[in-house]
Structure 1
Amino acid sequence: MRTSDFNFNFPSDLLAKYPSQERDESKLMIIHRNSKKIEHKLFKDLHQYFEEGDSIILNNTKVFPARLFGNKEKTDARIEVFLLRELDHKDRTWDVLVDPARKVRVGNKLNFGHGLTGEVIDNTTSRGRILQLHFNGTYEEFIKKIKELGNTPLPKYINRLTEISDKERYQTIYAKKEGSVAAPTAGLHFSKHLLKKLEIKGINLVEITLHLGLGSFLPVEVEDISKHKMDSEKCFINEETCRIINNAIQEKKKICAVGTSSMRAIESSVSSNKNLNPFLGWTNKFIFPPYNFSIANSIITNFHMPKSTLLMMVAAFTGFDLIMKAYQIAIQKKYRLFSYGDAMLIL
């Protein structure tokens, strides 16, 4: 398939710049793959589609405040620095994106305030720059300073200033393990009340960790999608999660991946007999049509950007024609799109 096959037009007012007032009151489109039936519900109705013994897989990654603003030495030009991943704990070097990129060269020094400075020491990475950060204090104090000065890394297309509420709302309520530069957005819709309802019903809520980096969000710049290379992201799957999921497979229960990140994680560690294996490492798995899924038989996901790897994965799971039809219906019915937007459950 071609990248251009996954393009679609949408009115700009459907791009969600803010989350819904209550987490579980966003819209929920239900897509039945076998019958091709499409229903329209609210996210708080989710429990109606699961029974005792079913399993829901949650990504418990936590977003850290990865966006810093500094000023360039001498010119005082304002520079945005997006921390992607720590490369060296001891030397405090980070893989970063900078904006505007044309204004930053090797040797440039940036001042972020409150004793935190940075120096660009390399620009040979595929994504951006390597920045060495300096702070006169312990490593713990240094990390604390980054969190004090950093901003919630909202997607660029939201195009507004970060607000205090984003710190809480651009985070799932079950986020535990810090390491993502973007939220696993399908999980943003879960409220404590809904999780409790699912628990009472006897549904297994199991957790994996996949730290989202740019792997999920870098644009596909080739027309032949099979030639796109995913950036690696760190992933953890423990033995208890595997035990519960493999038992559900054996008993032919419903297994639902919450978000494309959960789906990518579990599909990265499948045994030869189609069971889930424990995993600790990095995955650059890219899922696009056609693809045979091994673990989950349902997925909860948001509405994704045109031509994105996320839309390609969901098309592989749903079927290309059905998912593109669902997106057109969503646009007609004014579903809110993308990270802070509404959701779909694909059965």
Structure 2
Amino acid sequence: MSLAGTVPTPAPTVTRARTVPAQTRSLAVTAGCLGLAVLLGLAVGSRGLTPAELLGVVTGSGTAEARAIVLDLRLSRTLAAVIAGAGLAVAGAVIQGHTRNPLADPGLLGVTSGAAVAVVLAIFLLGITDPAGYLWFCLLGALLGTVLVTAVGLAGARRRDASPAALVLAGAAVNALLAAVTGVLLLLDSATLDVYRFWTVGSLAGGPDPEVLRVAGPFVLAGIVLALAHAPALDALALGDDAAKSLGRNPLRTRLTGLAAVTLLAGGAVACAGSLGFVGLVAPHVMRRVTGPGHRWLLPQCALAGGVLVLLADVIGRLVVHPAELPAGVVLGVLGAPAFIAIVVRHKNQRNNQGRR
């Protein structure tokens, strides 16, 4: 999801800098939370597993039933949740840094809408219904959606610097167009709608095809590495384009690099687990309160927190309608909407307080 318009985020100098030991401790705590979430993801389900049964699976002494549940069913969906959550959360942090819009997420730059159109075309025209089959279409659509938004943003900008406002407006226009195309195709073929519905709600039920994880995982990992290497440039952009130029950064080149990272991250994540909303919005906001605005520490924290968020949503979905399941995307929508409202209210209050000073 996205919100057109930019809201300035505080520059890195506004928030008190955290010391390296404090940042390391918070990173370790977040990693510990991810470890606990992984254990929950492996243990919770229609057939619950005890810690002793999980330990038996790890050591190779577990029962055949426990090994089948963990290795054949829950391990792949747990890995998919971690990969998708990490990709979307880091993509959200990168997009917020580039647009200086704290309400931005991967949907803003046409990534998810481009992937959706490509998946629908693969199903509608080629009859592909296997996730491993339309994986490459999903990645290609994410790339083309991002390229289209960038091209429109550059063409509409008064200056050729891919300004934040131009990217936001271009993203809103392209997303509306791609959503309309997707809607028309779905109306033309009910069979396509049935397959697409399962993908778009972000369900991890049954565990994704291992081939999907083998292909999408490296894309997300490459995106995280590129984003981490890109962190100093993001900190410079937070000061504004003119300040970034004075620090030796080229805003256009920097944004193109960021768009490449977002395409890898969100494209791989969406290919893994479908459309999961609010992860790219909520995770950066939560972690920014822990790490401060500096992207060197924010991005790895977001990668861990995104995995925690999606895993917990998946676990909650297994519990609330037990023995049936709610898709993780539905749970994230229910929990993310109030979080989004709280974020909007908080930033509005901050702007009002700044206006009174």
Q: TM-score, normalised by structure 1?
A: 0.28
**Greater RCO, CA 8 A, separation 6+:** 2
The structure with more strand, counted as a fraction of residues: 1
Q: TM-score, normalised by structure 2?
A: 0.28
